[in-house]
Structure 1
Amino acid sequence: MRNFLPKISYFWLTLLISLYFTLIVNLPVLLHFYRILHALSAFKIGFALSIPVVLFAALNFVFTPLTFKPIFKPVFIILLLVSALAAYAQGVFNIVFDRGMIQNIAETQQSEATSYLNLSVVAWFTFTGILPALLLLKTPVIYNQTILKRLGVRVLSMLVSLALIGGVAALYYQDYSSVGRNNRTLNLEILPTNYLYSGFQYLNHKYLTEPLPYEKVGTDAALVQKAGQKPTLMFLVIGETGRAQNQSYNGYSRPTNAFTQQTPDMVFFNHVSSCGTATAVSVPCMFSDMKRIDFNNDRAHNSDSFLDIVQRAGVSVFWKDNDEGCKGVCDRVPNVIIDTPKDGKFCDGDTCYDAALLENLDGKIVDDGKNKLIGLHLIGSHGPAYYRRYPDNFRFFTPDCQRSDIENCSHEQLVNTYDNTVRYTDYVLTQVIAKARQYQDKYNVAMIYLSDHGESLGEDGFYLHGTPYSVAPPQQTHVPMMFWLSPQYVQAQGLSLSCLQAQAAKNDYSQDNLFHTVLDAMNVKTSAIDPSLDILQPCRTAQ
């Protein structure tokens, strides 16, 4: 078949690709840059005009070494395809591709990944990824110079790019420096260097770095329980993408906590901050003895979580997961990831409503006289397909957004959909409490609920979660936590419920508190407990 595309020199094709990446692929970062300038009281016109010029020169400098004939087309076809998807994520959801986000992508399950597919993504990917890649594939490229001359042209092109960048820097260094200092994610928004660099960091860290030796924590852990006292049955519920701002307990005007607010003995914590903005960080962090300020994910994955410690002390532990796995914290205790058969009740073949976690759970609560800790990991409010997190009879706030391309829904629809997920989670918590109450004759029962991170719903242009913590909005870091403690549990533990409720309303807490509080709540004593981080300690009336 005859090729009607004109022949083009590798040199000019490199410049065209650099221009395409500047104006089309990197349109989100250019728009972000100009939004920043628009918010300033004054800026230099020359500085504003120089931004795409500098970006073009920088991309040409990076791309030129990749233009040797054997690799030219394969490399840039891949970059065009991947960058198209990345540009969509950045432009629509304000996603930043740091190492943490690459980890989130790598650990995403298939059912979660498919929730991001919609007509908007397909259309964008087709027109900005597939079509340019096909065009490049079919374009005849001319290499009509000697090898040395082509090498010289490449070196000269890179030197000219550097000179151009240097010239702009000489004129506007202070302007670039000021914007960069106040907007530290800008360098992580430039495609494709952002995901290439962060991807290399992730691969190097995961596969090329020698793992830390495994460290046991709380080796002196022992179960200390009064003679004749009933054992404890604790349900530990880890939420997903729940943000505190949308909880009725926090003054939200909508009845998102309509179920638990009718449940006696609830304790809601108004001021709780997360350790991270993504599950891959927050869950290992909240289960470890490290604080957020010094948290190291490598060490967390190679040391005991509090599940290991309570199990070592003699507590029966079981973990059931309806999300994307436990991120290593349950690896050494009995655990199961919920199956998702199309049962017509809770599951559709790809995902399940969280009420499915309570199915077939009684077999794990045998009457053997042991303290028991049951971990339940919710899918909660995981987006962007929020509408798939609650059944039709929980479409309380309408109109809701019955699609995953949330950018095509109104803000009202988006908030309605998210609030429905919060309300359904609240319902599920009451079902967990109802399950616990079934065992009150044999156990002192309780429940702790804590979400892993929050969610952005379009505030300041941010959507979803995973923004670097240093610049993350409070919607992603302010999370709900609540306790339900049965009267028998409160009495056995020597606690004052009114004291806990008063402390929860006024004190600042974080996920740093969970490790120490759960150990104490399960009557496990160890030197690993920091009493200052134990929420229960100040409200004990009988020691």
Structure 2
Amino acid sequence: MKHFNRLFTQRRIFWIFLAVMLVPNLFLCFTEHLPFLFKVVYILIPGALYLLLLNLSRKPGITFWALFPLHFIGAFQLVLLYLFGNSIIASDMFLNMFTTNSGEAFELLDKLAPAVVGVFILYLPALALAVYSIRRSDSLTPLFQKRAFMLSMLLLGTGLLIYTPAHRQAPHRARLDNLYPINAFNNARFAVSSWKAAKNYHLTSRDFDYRASSSRDPQMPEVYIFVIGETARAGNWGLYGYERNTTPRLGARHDVIHFDDVLTQINATHKSVPLMLSPADALDFNQIYRQKSLITAFKQAGFRTAFISNQLHNGSFTDFFADEADCTLYLLAPKNKTHLYDNALLPVVDSLLRSGPAKQLIVLHTYGSHFNYCERYTAENRSFTPDYINEINRKDRQAMINAYDNSIVATDWLLDQLIERLDRTGKTSALLYLSDHGEDLLDDDRDRFLHASPIPTYYQLHIPFVLWFSPQYVSQFPLDTQQAREQHKTPFDSRVVFHTLLSIGGIETDYRIDSLSLVSPSFHLDKRYYLGERNIPVPVKYLPFDDEDRQAFERHGIAPR
């Protein structure tokens, strides 16, 4: 114990804490595309600030514990770098903490063991050392604190001097608010304000009115099913030229229209799904706080509506919109130890179709291909083996791909079953499916995995989009169906969903924009946009793609525009 006391003096503990706090900055200097001079600033100015903070108490352990939120964000940032390879924690990453259920979180953490163990090794001993610092009888001397303060001022002054030419060199990237942890805390603050605004949604949207009506005979039987996919990327669908026939059932249907060049507006479920369901889009996301969903528009036009989810209630806009339906049902209960397969949706659909209203809208929110992939399909859809992995690594990548592809086979089966059911009704009907976003699967030397990264990849953006019309619909509205077929190679993004569904259902409202409807002769979309950090729209062609992404776009015949 004496040796320990002599080794870990308050002075040494002080410098250890400074080193621990600078670890995220050091990593970010290597992972971020920053000018060299700004990388120097990235260490000097935060280092000066950390010195000042640690110097506030004569026992550095007190300050270190008081800065626990900073350490939490630092640990979060390091895990993010392990997962995605680069980027500051985005505001959406903080929002994901509130909208991801615990089961999903533990599934992911279980596969990210190296990163989790690494941050524990870094921060837990440091926090324990902080307790030791507090309990020690001695403390930092006034002379040491004076010298530490002078050093902090020297580092701060040097950093500010270097910042001036660094900012001139790259004014958009080399900014003080782009220094970690300032940028991370700004994003966290934006996430909190967004969360509060979402919680007030029922007040801010209370008086919203689509003034919607149906252009069709009230007695004409109609039923439309909108299937929201989860984490399915187009590149692994047989319909899109994948080497494996993961979509044999849809591929055998000549009445299914698949759209080749569709991108999501954002790679995170808690925003991408609401953008499908509402008039809001990447160009003006904030209008979502004042508007209701297409479910309300269909209700106002005389449709009986249902929202059936195979995901957990999570307090996001998706849930707010689901509550607008006449029938809202969440199949997955918090007490379930394992996730239900999406085929559990079929008995509910059968019941709804038997219920007999003349006009119906059914929205199905699937679990699709969300990680952990091997838990998303039954034995009947287990086409590719082996399909189980213990952790995410390149050695086990083929098994991971097998499991992911099996989840696509399960989605293919589900959609085929839904189409069969709609066909048997003999009603004017249609089915629309698209995924909320794609997924990275260790596709190249970047070893990117999952989705919702601050900077998206090709694999997270390119999504499958499928339309099916019943023979009755084709007979009654041949121009609509022909127009949709003619657009199957046209580039567009997920903003078309809202307007297309309203058009298919014959819903008249001022919020329907026919130039964004796939069944309208006036369909036209100049640019595709991505919902960037802090809800700023970014033209897809200006996203900072890596060369690997540009090559992937080219291989699949897609222009990132």
| Same-fold call, TM cutoff 0.5 | yes
1:17 is matched with 17
CA distance in 2, matches of 1:171, 1:522: 59
Question: What secondary structure is seen at the aligned counterpart in 2 of 1:450?
Answer: strand
Contact conserved, 2:269 with 2:436, CA < 8 A, in 1?
yes
Contact conserved, 2:225 with 2:431, CA < 8 A, in 1?
yes
| 1:190-213 alpha-carbon deviations (Å, 9 max, x no partner) | 4x5554332222223433897673
2:94 is matched with 102
CA change 1:369–1:173 in 2 (3 A) is closer
Match of 1:466 among 452, 455, 466: 452
CA change 1:335–1:63 in 2 (3 A) is farther
1:112 aligns with 2:88: no
Offset at residue 222 of structure 1 (A): 0.9
Match of 2:52 among 42, 64, 72: 64
1:351 aligns with 2:344: no
CA distance in 2, matches of 1:408, 1:253: 20
2:248 is matched with 258
CA distance in 1, matches of 2:2, 2:197: 47
Instruction: Indicate the larger mover: 93-102 or 299-308.
Output: 93-102
1:143 aligns with 2:139: yes
Contact conserved, 2:515 with 2:522, CA < 8 A, in 1?
no
2:468 is matched with 484
Offset at residue 106 of structure 1 (A): 1.5
CA change 1:365–1:477 in 2 (3 A) is same
CA distance in 1, matches of 2:321, 2:265: 15
Instruction: Indicate the larger mover: 209-218 or 312-321.
Output: 209-218
Cα RMSD (Å): 3.5
| 1:519-543 alpha-carbon deviations (Å, 9 max, x no partner) | 1212221222111111112399xxx
Match of 1:158 among 135, 152, 156: 152
2:425 is matched with 439
Offset at residue 370 of structure 1 (A): 2.6
2:437 is matched with 453
1:131 is matched with 125
CA change 1:3–1:391 in 2 (3 A) is farther
2:415 is matched with 429
1:219 is matched with 210
What one-letter code is carried by the residue in structure 2 that aligns with 1:427? W
What one-letter code is carried by the residue in structure 1 that aligns with 2:262? V
CA distance in 2, matches of 1:363, 1:131: 57
1:391 aligns with 2:378: yes
Match of 1:519 among 493, 499, 502: 502
CA distance in 2, matches of 1:497, 1:288: 23
Contact conserved, 2:304 with 2:357, CA < 8 A, in 1?
no
* Counterparts of residues 156-235 of structure 1 (less than 5 Å): 156-169=150-163, 177=170, 180=173, 187=178, 190=180, 193-207=182-196, 213-214=204-205, 219-226=210-217, 229=220, 231-235=221-225
Contact conserved, 1:316 with 1:371, CA < 8 A, in 2?
yes
1:284 is matched with 274
CA change 1:205–1:444 in 2 (3 A) is closer
CA distance in 2, matches of 1:255, 1:418: 13
1:40 is matched with none
CA change 1:365–1:524 in 2 (3 A) is same
Contact conserved, 1:101 with 1:466, CA < 8 A, in 2?
yes
Contact conserved, 1:217 with 1:304, CA < 8 A, in 2?
yes
Offset at residue 253 of structure 1 (A): 1.8
Offset at residue 448 of structure 1 (A): 0.6
Question: What secondary structure is seen at the aligned counterpart in 2 of 1:359?
Answer: helix
What one-letter code is carried by the residue in structure 1 that aligns with 2:214? L
Question: What secondary structure is seen at the aligned counterpart in 1 of 2:248?
Answer: coil
Percent same amino acid at aligned positions?
Answer: 25
2:311 is matched with 323
CA change 1:222–1:171 in 2 (3 A) is closer
1:332 aligns with 2:294: no
Offset at residue 102 of structure 1 (A): 0.7
Contact conserved, 2:368 with 2:411, CA < 8 A, in 1?
yes
Unpaired stretches in structure 2, ≥5 consecutive residues: 524-561
Offset at residue 341 of structure 1 (A): 8.8
1:310 aligns with 2:298: yes
Question: What secondary structure is seen at the aligned counterpart in 1 of 2:463?
Answer: coil
2:228 is matched with 238
Offset at residue 396 of structure 1 (A): 2.3
Offset at residue 376 of structure 1 (A): 0.5
| 1:212-233 alpha-carbon deviations (Å, 9 max, x no partner) | 732655532112223763x111
1:372 is matched with 360
Offset at residue 512 of structure 1 (A): 1.4
CA distance in 2, matches of 1:369, 1:58: 63
Offset at residue 103 of structure 1 (A): 0.6
CA change 1:362–1:58 in 2 (3 A) is same
CA distance in 2, matches of 1:492, 1:99: 47
Offset at residue 162 of structure 1 (A): 0.8
Contact conserved, 1:5 with 1:138, CA < 8 A, in 2?
no
What one-letter code is carried by the residue in structure 1 that aligns with 2:17? I
CA change 1:171–1:309 in 2 (3 A) is closer
Q: TM-score, normalised to structure 2's length?
A: 0.79
CA distance in 1, matches of 2:17, 2:508: 63
| 1:3-32 alpha-carbon deviations (Å, 9 max, x no partner) | 934476666544322222334x45542431
What one-letter code is carried by the residue in structure 2 that aligns with 1:102? F
1:475 aligns with 2:454: no
Offset at residue 178 of structure 1 (A): 7.9
CA change 1:497–1:54 in 2 (3 A) is closer
Offset at residue 57 of structure 1 (A): 4.5
What one-letter code is carried by the residue in structure 1 that aligns with 2:433? Y
Contact conserved, 1:58 with 1:165, CA < 8 A, in 2?
no
Offset at residue 467 of structure 1 (A): 2.9
Question: What secondary structure is seen at the aligned counterpart in 2 of 1:360?
Answer: helix
Offset at residue 367 of structure 1 (A): 4.3
CA distance in 1, matches of 2:354, 2:347: 15
Offset at residue 426 of structure 1 (A): 1.4
CA distance in 2, matches of 1:482, 1:456: 21
Offset at residue 261 of structure 1 (A): 0.8
Q: TM-score, normalised to structure 1's length?
A: 0.82
| 1:140-199 alpha-carbon deviations (Å, 9 max, x no partner) | 5643446xx787556434312212313544676666x38937xx9x948x4x55543322
What one-letter code is carried by the residue in structure 2 that aligns with 1:300? I
Contact conserved, 1:80 with 1:133, CA < 8 A, in 2?
no
Instruction: Indicate the larger mover: 405-414 or 422-431.
Output: 405-414
CA change 1:341–1:81 in 2 (3 A) is closer
1:88 aligns with 2:84: no
Offset at residue 317 of structure 1 (A): 0.6
Question: What secondary structure is seen at the aligned counterpart in 2 of 1:467?
Answer: coil
CA distance in 2, matches of 1:501, 1:208: 40
CA change 1:178–1:195 in 2 (3 A) is closer
What one-letter code is carried by the residue in structure 2 that aligns with 1:430? D
CA distance in 2, matches of 1:54, 1:292: 31
| 1:383-432 alpha-carbon deviations (Å, 9 max, x no partner) | 2x2222223443323343434x3236444333333222222211211122
CA change 1:310–1:195 in 2 (3 A) is same
CA distance in 2, matches of 1:8, 1:163: 30
Contact conserved, 2:17 with 2:126, CA < 8 A, in 1?
no
